[in-house]
Structure 1
Amino acid sequence: MKSASPRPKTFPLSRSSSGGMPIVTTSFVLAAKPGPMLDNYASLIHSGRVHVALHDGTIHGILIVIPEADAMLLDNVAVAPAAQRLGIGRRLLEFAENTASKAGFSHIKLYTNEAMTENLSLYQRIGYTETHHAEENDLRRIYVVKVLPERPCSP
């Protein structure tokens, strides 16, 4: 049986600042698929769309959420290779869903490359439903959406 790495208890999530842009772009964009490499991270960070998972001062994961007219778009979620299998990705997804819900959205949507079958399986397991396939920027994508639970009204 493979021994598991010790799991840190928490990975605080916070908004990235412009000072973190070189770290975000170096750590994740260069290791990512072509789609995310085309994003304007300076603009996304400046507009408060980029959130990071930190542990001991190191960025282990990033999340980009963008409000759209019909739903919150989970534009990008990435976990550093050395930090995978520690629950960071799932925590980032939960954070995105909570952010969407708090912003008043009833749905969150995302897309993934058709080749990322492991990601698609995870999304389906946690409640996302496939809506359609499309080819954009020479990438074959699968679009999924999740209906978020209703937030209780405040008394």
Structure 2
Amino acid sequence: MVVRLALAADAASIQQLVRAAFVRYVPRIGREPAPMGVDYRVPVAEGRCRVVEHDGRVVGMVQCAARTGYLEVETIAVAEEARGLGVGTELLAYAEEQARELGLPEVRLYTNEAMTENLEYYPRRGFREIERATHHGYRRVFFAKPVG
């Protein structure tokens, strides 16, 4: 597996990956999760996306943005066939490394309350819940992890 900067040529693969990764949550949430509506050409062009390539295919992606005091993981997605291979862990490790390089003390992210798997996944990777709130009609759970 290789984590690399996403290129313009990857945007369509990222879009398909995100849609496939999040479509299972539509019935739980009652509408498409926010990442499904993003035009990934924009964050790719801005250099904010990294992908994981495995056997020549994009099987994971992370979109990050530096904020005041933290690095935000805006979207993270893993292909169904790559789940359990450590792709998500690799992408989160990249985000932590990026935060350290930028001199930011923590990584933050959020998930939808209905994505119950994530509510267990992130704490197992050292994230702690810091807030629950409704934004744009989505019930979100916010997490943070210090990156010493």
Structure label with greater radius of gyration: 1
1:7 matched residue in structure 2: none
Deviation at residue 43 of structure 1 after TM alignment: 1.1
Instruction: Pick from 10, 13, 28 the counterpart of residue 18 of structure 2.
Output: 28
Q: Scaled by the length of structure 2, what TM-score is found?
A: 0.88
Deviation at residue 30 of structure 1 after TM alignment: 5.0
Deviation at residue 62 of structure 1 after TM alignment: 0.4
The C-alpha deviation readout for 1:16-57, integer Å capped at 9, x for no partner, is 111111111122235425210222311100011010000121
**Counterpart residue identity of residue 70, structure 2:** A
Matches within 5 A, 1:75-90: 75-90=74-89
- Give yes or no for contact 2:51–2:59 (8 Å, CA) kept in 1: yes
Structure 2, gaps ≥5 residues long: 23-31
1:138 matched residue in structure 2: 137
Provide the rounded CA distance (Å) in 2 between the counterparts of 1:27 and 1:78.
7
1:100 matched residue in structure 2: 99
Q: State the structure with bigger RCO (CA 8 A, min sep 6), 1 or 2.
A: 2
1:73 matched residue in structure 2: 72
**Counterpart residue identity of residue 4, structure 2:** S
Q: Scaled by the length of structure 1, what TM-score is found?
A: 0.84
User: For 2:132, what is the secondary structure of its paired residue?
Assistant: strand
- Give yes or no for contact 2:21–2:78 (8 Å, CA) kept in 1: no
1:52 matched residue in structure 2: 51
Q: CA RMSD, aligned part only?
A: 1.3
1:122 matched residue in structure 2: 121
Provide the rounded CA distance (Å) in 2 between the counterparts of 1:27 and 1:116.
17
Larger % of helix: which? 2
User: For 2:119, what is the secondary structure of its paired residue?
Assistant: helix
User: For 2:11, what is the secondary structure of its paired residue?
Assistant: helix
